[in-house]
Structure 1
């Protein structure tokens, strides 16, 4: 294993050599670009868009791997291998004096727009051995600040609206002058007026006048909102007030086909029948495939309202959430001046809906991964997105799999699993009363689901049957909630190996292999900044809270006498009682087009009490495997410093999980990506009466029991899925004696200090 790491380091060193191999004479490879500014309030990242020429990309901050690939190509451009190497590699960036001068000019303009009117940019170029290093040194000077701010509109009505919003202006007295803030203020004013009925207003009507002659590095700022200017027949300018627009009629064009509309024009539109539902018009061909009520409840736009841009955006988002349409277009048609109402112009709104396929099915036979254990399985899934013509999403799934796992003695054994699951999601809340405009505000959904799962291992056979009802809604664009008022889990273990049962009898694992019932209530909130297909930094936070068994315990204690076993049962099955909470925090930071960093913090705590001494097996925490501490096998670490070397199977679980992960990811070539990672964490038990030795969580020494692992990985990005190979290496093993838990410097590495994980998708 040491040799492997030696060759990897040697390979990375080689990639840094001969970078100027194909640099022509009298040219220089742009080796490094740096920007140094005396303006400490501007982060270095802000200068990047203005640098017109950057050096070749690096991985690990030092190796120009992609340039090395390009340089591997021979001179014969007709050979396929040379074409491929040049395509996946990166051409050497040759220093360009013109682009360097442009960069200096753009940086100076950027500083000017930031209010540094007296800034200078010096360009320092160092050339040596066919390499050029460029430094842009910005002497910023003092930044100008806003002294006085004035707002005025030529239109009296608009002027009163803007004066009401002055307190919310992005321009503040005493704040630094910044052109980008002015641009944002222009957008803010435009948005305000568009949400007040000014359909035809645009940001081109908003002007700024800046007086820099005030002195003492201050400026006076004036915001002017102009009226419409038109010329009469004699060429003289006249000012017109911006008109207000009111919604006249709303038309839903169902099953709209944009290609036929473009080609057939009026002939196509003449084929639509019309249905009037309340104040809305439904235009359709043949028949309505979606109940009008669903679409009416999914729009914020109604006849008689003033036009509001915000309502248009919300309507499009709500209709998209139905998953019934692959294309949604909302357009407005201005009526003639003769149709004006109370001096307001009128708009007809056309919501054009191009349907997606309501039904689909898929049959998959594929390799599977569960926490690093590979296997094979088959799956059949059927979906109907409009089961009762009310945008109800029905799913039925049936599948089975077989996986090979390893005992501690590295012996293989098979696990077999079979399951069936069905669910239906309604685009509304099931409740005995209606809340006006509730769907428009929160996009609520009600989910009903049921599942049955059969699992067979050499040591036991287990069946799990569950069902639940959940309510889901969005409180904002990035925040979603889910409440499950009632969920029921029946876990039965019809057969269990007697030797295995003897091994676990008397310890904390024994309770996990008993028949039990779970009736729980859960709440979950998710905050997600991630945007699909956009490479930008984002946060993701998921917090869950769950309680179980309290209602059953209250009922039993009132209406039943406690039996001799000292616990209550339902239908002869003991029910669990516990409270549990988890939080998962992730941050993704994109350094450039090929390098990124990902971080995760996870904390989970479950406390069993009352009718059941431990958390149910399916609720207990474990660590190790492909998505956790990757230097350990799944369920192969903890709790705490507890060692289970005498057990046949990796089956270590706990009541608390603490884990921190960091991963550096970099694109290599074609579909291949690389990664370096660091994992820290462990699981712990919470009750001293059934805790194994060394497994109990204590505030004064829990950090002494942390496991630390590192490693590297390769990822194959096939667009639809990512296949991942990770090699983990232990750095700190909590089962070692205190003082020798850090492996480097304490003992030699052995084969068991490494773990190889195969998985689908990123770990976080």
Structure 2
């Protein structure tokens, strides 16, 4: 069978190669642009700085190797009316035909960019090499000798502006000895403009700052002078001094339609004056005046500040009761008046919403369904507080129970639960000053959750309560502080058969029994996230970036200290309890680092390392199951399915199946390398290598080979490799990854290295996920 198929496969491949000839799409006397390079003879002038000026690039290559998108396009025939030809052209890339005029334009822009860097005599020439119908193009940069600034002087007639600039001189971008870089000179104008706009100069822009550059003959030195031009609204107006403006009245207008202000328009509104602010509204005020004052940064009587305006926009944007906001300033009429009245327009958002979800489930062949209804109110107490409540129910028909015990109360699985949360747009905590609350742009959230699960073998109740804070700093750093997070697990019923099973397994598997006992976890935690590219969780990065995530949490320490004061020694040497339930005591810390290197706009290389350690002590001999680490899955070592790797060289259950309870640990290490490339349309591809494992801190007979040892752990690191497809929908990324085992630490001998003798049925794992793995 296999031998007879070979001729057909070979014939198909030959037909595919001949049918996707590029020549039929290249016009006569034209060339396919096969390669573009930028070459610089000056070390300081790096070619990568000018990639954005290239207006015509060759066809993209998958993984920087093969031009598959172009080959796909060329499978189509010349007749564009046929649907099959249109299909291949849509998913592929048309061959890029070299255009001399576009190349000359790119040459001109690169030359201008190099000269702006201070190499005033720089030239760029084109080097073209043709072979048959293909052309390779190189832009050769001859930078020459750079011009440097010998002396910097300032010609500022306005003494107040001069004083502001002198006070901020430490931030100046200008200095003797610097390159005569036009980009830096313009950045300095923008910096000074921003400084003055925050000092009351409402009408100031960078065009009032100009440079005068004097060069000495036969030298490459420049004497630079920065001059301040007087204020002129129009060329025919007389020059005058730049004026500082102060904020007069601050008015809030709550209306969806009005976007301009006139005295007769305001007469249609109801109004009130709160402290120093005017509030105008129709019908009823939907936000408390105190909330608007707290989130506003524009203060009456203070100098105008552009930064205050932007901070006000940012703060108001956090109020979910608002659809949008708009801020306008009007000059107060009068000769030589320097007062600005501020008008803050507020459009009301829809307060209430409901959502209904239905889903199907399949757990090991047992079919079921789940449904949920959620309700949300975005302005509960007229302070933009968001209240959410969700009710969920699930049912699953369990099969294969066989000789079911008579003490089973039912034969199926049922779950119902309710969760609610109340979110405040401020840092809600007693004894904090109002200045601190305004400085920290935090949200506070209180949450409650209750879930009841009824199975044939047992019934379980889960309840939780939390109080947490979230805030963002400079749009790149995110903080979360969980002041208190209480999780309670109660097992009101266990069937006699299930209890006997747990008792029989106690000697072999202490983790299994602990997972089905009453538990209480009272934790406090803090997490920090930094992303140098901003919020790119659901979008593809476009430049080199990196991210850091750190988390630390502890549980049970306060309860342990209180219990120790009341009872120095617990009864019969057992654990301390609260409401007859032992509480967990542990400390846990995680760290993740990811670095993204952009090769070009279509290709990138990503490196990731993740590590974590958790240590139970005091009142706990082991971690709660939910707090333990696991390995394998879509975001870990992708040659293994989720929760199927480790700890250490633990082989799983005796029957060779996965053991989710035992395949968990106290220490985790993940190392990942991924090459990402754009394929075509909205599809991206990836090739990856993953490594990692988990380990336990204490030796356990139920997890043989899982103990972490410094002299052995590196021998127990699993390695996998594979390929992935990402479907980028801009707002959502669907990910499909296929991983193969390369090094399996559980096996010995030849089986330890499946990369040499791979077996698809044994070594392959498929994963579906949303978003990037790191």
1:537-686 aligned at under 5 Å gives the runs 537=543, 538-560=545-567, 561-646=569-654, 648-651=657-660, 652-686=663-697
Please point out which of 467, 478, 483 is paired with 1:480: 478
Change (3 A) 1:359 1:489: same
Residues 596 and 91 of structure 1: CA distance in aligned 2, closer, same or farther (over 3 Å) = same
Tell me the equivalent position of 1:410: none
Give the deviation of 1:564 after TM superposition: 1.0
2:367 aligned with 1:379, yes or no? Answer: no
User: SS of the residue aligned with 2:176?
Assistant: coil
| Mapped pair 1:358 → 2:351 | yes
**Partner SS state of residue 117, structure 1:** coil
Could you list the runs of 5+ residues in structure 1 that have no partner in the other structure?
408-412
Q: How far did residue 692 of structure 1 move?
A: 3.0
- Checking the alignment, whether the CA contact within 8 Å between 2:542 and 2:601 is kept in structure 1 is no
Deviation at 1:21, TM superposition (A): 3.3
Aligned partners of 1:592 and 1:21: how far apart in 2?
29
Change (3 A) 1:355 1:122: same
Q: Is the 8 A contact 1:398 1:421 kept in 2?
A: yes
C-alpha separation between the residues in 1 aligned to 2:363 and 2:475?
32
- Over 3 Å counting, the alpha-carbon distance change for 1:456 and 1:671 in structure 2 is farther
Give me the whole-angstrom Cα distance separating, in 2, the residues matched to 1:599 and 1:248: 53
Task: Give the 3-state SS of the residue equivalent to 2:467 in structure 1.
Answer: strand
Alpha-carbon offset, residue 256 of structure 1: 2.7
Deviation, structure 1 residue 661: 2.4
State the match for 1:199 in structure 2. Answer: 202
Which residue is equivalent to 1:423?
A: 421
Partner residue in 2 for 1:243: 243
Q: Which residue number in structure 1 is paired with residue 50 of structure 2?
A: 47
Task: Mark the CA change 1:27 to 1:475 in structure 2 (over 3 Å): closer, same or farther.
Answer: closer
Offset, 1:155: 1.9
- 1:715 alignment partner in structure 2: 726
Aligned-pair CA distance for 1:307: 0.4
* Aligned-partner Cα distance in 1 for 2:233–2:288: 47
Distance 1:357 1:594 in 2: 41
- Kindly tell me: are residues 270 and 417 of structure 1, through their superposed partners in 2, closer, same or farther at Cα, counting changes over 3 Å? same
Residues 435-492 of structure 1, C-alpha deviations (whole Å, 9 max, x = no match): 1333331112221111123456787654321111113333433223222222211123
Query: Match for 2:183 among 180, 183, 186?
Result: 180
Q: Does 1:530 align with 2:530?
A: no
Q: Is 1:146 matched up with 2:149?
A: yes
Distance 1:231 1:719 in 2: 45
2:139 is equivalent to residue 136 of structure 1: yes
Alpha-carbon deviations, 1:416-443, whole Å to 9, x = none? 7544211101122333334133333111
Residue aligning to 2:768: 758
User: Is the contact between residue 152 and residue 225 of structure 2 (CA under 8 Å) also seen in structure 1?
Assistant: yes
Q: Is the 8 A contact 2:478 2:530 kept in 1?
A: yes
The 8 Å contact of residues 530 and 540 in structure 1, kept in 2 or not, is answered as: no
Question: 1:16–1:63: 8 Å Cα contact kept in structure 2?
Answer: no
Q: Deviations over 1:517-560 (max 9, x none)?
A: 11111112222333466853343322111111111111111102
- Does the aligned pair in 1 maintain the 2:256–2:348 contact within 8 Å? yes
Structure 1 residues 635, 531: closer, same or farther in 2, change over 3 A?
A: closer
- How far residue 643 of structure 1 moved from its aligned partner, in angstroms, is 1.2
- Residue 84 of structure 1 and its aligned partner are, at CA, apart by 4.4
Distance 1:113 1:15 in 2: 49
**Match among 213, 219, 226 for residue 222 of structure 2:** 219
In structure 2, do the counterparts of structure 1 residues 414 and 720 end up closer, same or farther at CA, with 3 Å as the change threshold?
farther
Structure 2: distance between partners of 1:218 and 1:52: 34
C-alpha separation in 2, matches of 1:68 and 1:405 = 51
CA shift at 1:216, angstroms? 5.7
Q: CA deviation at 1:369?
A: 10
Query: CA separation in 2, counterparts of 1:738 and 1:43?
Result: 50
Residue of structure 2 equivalent to 1:37 = 40
Change in CA separation of 1:677 and 1:21 when aligned onto 2, cut-off 3 Å: farther
Task: Quote the residue 2:27 is aligned against.
Answer: 24
Distance in 1 of aligned mates of 2:724 and 2:540: 24
Q: 1:583 to 1:215 in 2, by over 3 A?
A: farther
More moved, 730-739 vs 566-575: 730-739
1:403, CA displacement in angstroms? 8.7
Q: 1:151 touches 1:163 (CA, 8 Å); kept in 2?
A: no
Q: In structure 2, do the counterparts of structure 1 residues 65 and 463 end up closer, same or farther at CA, with 3 Å as the change threshold? A: farther
Deviation at 1:404, TM superposition (A): 11
Q: Secondary structure at the match of 1:473?
A: strand
Matches within 5 A, 1:683-694: 683-688=694-699, 692-694=703-705
1:590 to partner: Cα distance: 4.8
CA distance in 2, matches of 1:62, 1:131: 17
SS at match of 1:101: helix
Does the 8 Å CA contact 2:212/2:224 hold for their aligned counterparts? yes
Aligned partner of 2:448 in structure 1 is 450
1:240 aligned counterpart, secondary structure: coil
Superposition CA RMSD, Å:
3.4
Match of 2:268 among 271, 280, 288: 271
Mapped contact 2:122–2:142 kept (Cα < 8 A): yes
**Post-superposition shift, 1:514?**
2.9
2:330 and 2:92 map into 1 onto residues whose CA distance is 51
Cα 1:498–1:220 change in 2 (3 A) is: farther
Quick check: 626-635 or 206-215, which moved more?
206-215
After TM superposition, give the deviation of residue 671 of structure 1 in Å. Answer: 4.5
Are the aligned partners of 1:460 and 1:497 in contact in 2 as well (CA < 8 Å)? Answer: no
Q: Distance in 2 between matches of 1:248 and 1:229?
A: 24
Distance in 1, matches of 2:435 and 2:76, equals 63
Q: CA deviation at 1:309?
A: 0.4
Change (3 A) 1:49 1:190: same
Contact 2:475 2:535 in 1 (8 A): no
Distance in 2 between residues matched to 1:374 and 1:45, nearest whole Å: 55
Tell me the SS of whatever aligns to 1:189: helix
Checking the alignment, whether the CA contact within 8 Å between 1:634 and 1:650 is kept in structure 2 is no
The 1:39/1:368 distance shift into structure 2, 3 A limit, reads farther
- What is the aligned length? 741
Give the conservation status (yes or no) of the 8 Å contact 1:16–1:68. Answer: no
Distance 1:675 1:109 in 2: 37
Q: 1:689 to 1:624 in 2, by over 3 A?
A: closer
Out of 379-388 and 450-459, give the one that drifted further. 450-459
Q: Is the alpha carbon distance of 1:238 and 1:395 closer, same or farther for their aligned partners in structure 2, counting shifts above 3 Å?
A: same
Structure 1 residues 756 and 534, CA gap change in structure 2 (3 angstroms): closer
Q: Give, in angstroms, the shift of residue 297 of structure 1.
A: 0.4
CA distance in 2, matches of 1:347, 1:92: 58
Q: Which moved more, 1:142-151 or 1:299-308?
A: 142-151
Inter-CA distance 744–265: structure 2 relative to 1 (3 Å threshold): same
Change (3 A) 1:643 1:42: farther
Counting only pairs closer than 5 Å after superposition, residues 33-112 of structure 1 correspond to structure 2 as: 33-112=36-115
Moved more, 107-116 or 646-655: 646-655
Give TM-score, length-normalised by structure 2. 0.88
1:699 counterpart = 2:710 = yes
TM-score under structure 1 normalisation? Answer: 0.89
State the secondary structure of the residue aligned to 1:313.
Answer: helix
Structure 1 residues 58 and 417: alpha-carbon distance in aligned structure 2, compared to 1, 3 A threshold: farther
Question: Which residue pairs with 2:755 in the alignment?
Answer: 744
Change (3 A) 1:37 1:405: farther
Contact 2:45 2:143 in 1 (8 A): no
Larger deviation, residues 181-190 vs 459-468? 459-468
Offset at residue 595 of structure 1 (A): 3.7
Partner residue in 2 for 1:393: 386
| Structure 1 residue matching 2:175: 3-state secondary structure | coil
